[in-house]
Amino acid sequence: MKKILIIDDDPLVLKSLRKLLEKEKYFVETAKSAKEALEKIKNSNFNLIICDIRMPEMNGIEFTEELKKEKDIPIIFITGYFSEDGPIKAEKLGVKDYILKPFDIDKLLEAIKRII
């Protein structure tokens, strides 16, 4: 079973994505912050990370930079805020996809299947 970590500071996003992905037969863990996610990653192997970009303390870009020092896990960014340089920064970091909220569920599932 493929294992996915979802990182978002919005509990509703965590809950709805977990429900959706578990229905698709993925094993899902969630983290409310990038720091919590980094702790979970130390103790577990994930096939994919779905990460919000704008979060308090450590944003998705900073999280990805930190993660890449230790592990190479595919990442999909989700964000409710479009910025010109966001997708460019994401691409430079090797992020596999960049999806704007509210996202199309089929597009997200398609991206997940393509990546893992």
Per-residue model confidence (pLDDT) at position 12:
95
* Banded pLDDT at 91 (limits 50, 70, 90): confident
Per-residue model confidence (pLDDT) at position 87:
77
Q: Which of 107, 70, 92, 69 is nearest to 50 (CA)?
A: 107
Residue 86 has pLDDT above 80, yes or no: no
> Which tens digit of pLDDT belongs to each residue from 50-60?
999 999 999 99
Task: Return the CATH number of the domain spanning residue range 3-115.
Answer: 3.40.50.2300
Cα→Cα distances 33→6, 40, 111, Å:
10, 11, 23
Tokens of 48: 């994919």
Pick the more confident residue, 34 or 97.
Answer: 34
* Banded pLDDT at 32 (limits 50, 70, 90): very high
From CA 14, how far away is CA 42, in angstroms rounded? 20
Q: Would you kindly state where each structural domain of the chain is located, as residue ranges?
A: 3-115
